């Protein structure tokens, strides 16, 4: 349908399986024990942060030339999937490190890459991404945040909304209008802003339904002056870079969604095999078995689609735009369905905080919204189909 007849699009190698085993061990030993408290206290998962740095899973996508491990897109998705299986908030650490730094990987000159990717790879800083605004969410080209050239510098004024890990990250890729009279979509430029830059401040933490361990705040720029050597790519090419970035990083949201759903299915399975009603285990009832089968079937379909999209991301295939959107939309819809069903399978217990299912259900919802709502993903897919 999308013009690609090559169905042998990915194969998990022994290295990929070894990475899964290693990440799962870190996630279960060092991340899972804190997941409930991180959610309850709405606090940054510092234990997960430290464990990911220590195990080289903090920003695994960064290339070896910058001191990183150079994990391919599929391996990076496996890292995010396995962390999300126990704590969605913690999985945003590697996911947003990729989102924030991907514009640099795609478009920055070598000096900018070395300056910012090297400390990221070393685990010395996280990287966030500033694209959305209050009135420019799905309609990114309508952004108002502007950057004006002043000698060799740029002066940024405006705000950004819904910024993941804002306040924690030292580096921010920020998109701003640099030619107010220019053609819409060709008048935006990407910059790196540093946490300590004068005139750059943060709003209050948003009070959210889920992913409470990942701080979400506004970025405020009050005549924030940055040097001209912080431009990412060409002046005016920012929106193209931003959209290309999302083609790659939407796959990581698919990975997060798959991980959340897998965690929920694992807990539901364990529960129904133990709990007894009417003199037998709940798992022995055919109605329950049908629910479990449907949960596992749709989850596996989502995982396979996400892995195919990850392989396409690695190769930068021409049909990545379609597959990235499809993986994100389908996996996040599945995550919402699977977590809702998992809560149902536990009955009243599923509705309490004694079990992680209600947290997983709340965390799953955001995967249908951020990095482009699933309505926008369907527009993206339809446009790709109609273009042929």
Asked if residue 135 and residue 96 are part of one domain, the reply reads: no
- 11 band by pLDDT with thresholds 50, 70 and 90: confident
Mean pLDDT of 326-333: 98
In a domain, 302, yes or no: yes
The residues near 260 (Cβ < 8 Å, ≥ 6 apart) are 84, 85, 88, 335, 339, 360, 363, 364, 367
pTM of the model: 0.97
Asked if residue 217 and residue 132 are part of one domain, the reply reads: yes
In a domain, 315, yes or no: yes
Asked if residue 330 and residue 193 are part of one domain, the reply reads: no
- Number of domains, the chain: 3
Cβ(120)–Cβ(294) under 8 Å?
A: no
Asked if residue 276 and residue 150 are part of one domain, the reply reads: no
- For 187, the domain range is 128-237
In a domain, 3, yes or no: no
Task: Using the predicted structure, report yes or no on whether residue 385 has a pLDDT greater than 50.
Answer: yes
pLDDT at site 3: 47
Domain boundary among 207, 222, 237: 237
- 9 band by pLDDT with thresholds 50, 70 and 90: low
Measure the CA–CA gap between 105 and 113, rounded to whole angstroms: 7
Measure the CA–CA gap between 42 and 305, rounded to whole angstroms: 32
CATH of the domain at 184: 2.40.110.10
The residues near 346 (Cβ < 8 Å, ≥ 6 apart) are 267, 268, 271, 355, 357
Q: Each residue of 27-37: pLDDT tens digit?
A: 999 999 999 99
pLDDT at site 10: 84
Asked if residue 143 and residue 112 are part of one domain, the reply reads: no
pLDDT at site 5: 44
Q: Each residue of 52-99: pLDDT tens digit?
A: 999 999 999 999 999 999 999 999 999 999 999 999 999 999 999 999
Asked if residue 162 and residue 100 are part of one domain, the reply reads: no
- Of 81, 82, 358, 371, which is the active-site residue? 371
In a domain, 8, yes or no: no
CATH of the domain at 295: 1.20.140.10
Asked if residue 312 and residue 291 are part of one domain, the reply reads: yes
Asked if residue 311 and residue 194 are part of one domain, the reply reads: no
Q: Each residue of 255-295: pLDDT tens digit?
A: 999 999 999 999 999 999 999 999 999 999 999 999 999 99
Asked if residue 365 and residue 245 are part of one domain, the reply reads: yes
Q: What is the mean pLDDT of the chain?
A: 97
In a domain, 7, yes or no: no
Domain boundary among 93, 109, 126: 126
pLDDT at site 1: 45
Mean pLDDT of 128-138: 96
Query: For this structure, is 371 an active site residue?
Result: yes
Domain boundary among 237, 258, 284: 237
Asked if residue 202 and residue 186 are part of one domain, the reply reads: yes
Asked if residue 134 and residue 221 are part of one domain, the reply reads: yes
Task: Tell me how far apart the terminal alpha carbons of the chain are, to the nearest angstrom.
Answer: 9
In a domain, 281, yes or no: yes
Asked if residue 209 and residue 348 are part of one domain, the reply reads: no
Q: Each residue of 297-318: pLDDT tens digit?
A: 999 999 999 999 999 999 999 9
In a domain, 195, yes or no: yes
Task: Using the predicted structure, report yes or no on whether residue 7 has a pLDDT greater than 80.
Answer: no
């Amino acid at each position: 349908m999308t013009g690609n007849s090559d169905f042998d699009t990915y194969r998990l190698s022994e290295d990929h399986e070894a990475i899964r085993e290693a990440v799962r061990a870190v996630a279960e030993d060092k991340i899972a024990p804190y997941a409930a408290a991180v959610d309850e206290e709405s606090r940054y998962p510092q234990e997960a942060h430290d464990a990911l740095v220590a195990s080289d899973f903090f920003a695994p996508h960064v290339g070896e030339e910058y001191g990183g491990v150079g994990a391919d897109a599929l391996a990076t998705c496996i890292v995010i999937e396995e962390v999300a299986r126990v704590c969605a908030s913690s999985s945003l650490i590697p996911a947003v490190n990729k989102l924030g730094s991907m514009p640099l990987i795609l478009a920055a000159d070598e000096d900018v890459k070395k300056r910012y990717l090297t400390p990221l790879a070393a685990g010395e800083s996280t990287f966030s991404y500033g694209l959305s605004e209050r009135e420019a969410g799905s309609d990114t080209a309508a952004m108002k945040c502007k950057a004006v050239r002043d000698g060799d510098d740029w002066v940024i004024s405006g705000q950004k909304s819904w910024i993941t890990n804002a306040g924690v990250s030292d580096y921010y890729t920020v998109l701003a209008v640099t030619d107010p009279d220019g053609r819409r979509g060709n008048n935006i430029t990407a910059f790196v802003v540093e946490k300590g830059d004068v005139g750059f401040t943060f709003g209050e933490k948003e009070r959210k339904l889920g992913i409470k361990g990942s701080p979400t705040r506004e970025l405020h720029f009050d005549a924030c002056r940055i040097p001209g050597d912080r431009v990412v790519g060409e002046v005016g090419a920012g929106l193209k870079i931003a959209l290309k970035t999302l083609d790659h990083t939407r796959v990581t949201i698919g990975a997060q969604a798959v991980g959340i759903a897998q965690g929920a299915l694992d807990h539901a399975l364990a529960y129904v095999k133990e709990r007894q009603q009417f003199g037998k285990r709940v798992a022995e009832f055919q109605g329950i078995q049908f629910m479990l089968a449907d949960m596992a079937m749709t989850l596996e379909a989502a995982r396979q689609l996400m892995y195919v999209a990850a392989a396409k991301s690695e190769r930068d295939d021409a049909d990545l735009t379609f597959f990235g959107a499809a993986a994100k939309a389908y996996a996040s819809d599945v995550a919402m369905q699977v977590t809702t069903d998992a809560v149902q399978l536990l009955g009243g217990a599923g509705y309490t905080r004694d079990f992680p299912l209600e947290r997983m259900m709340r965390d799953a919802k955001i995967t249908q919204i951020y990095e482009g709502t699933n309505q926008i993903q369907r527009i993206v897919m339809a446009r790709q189909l109609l273009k042929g």
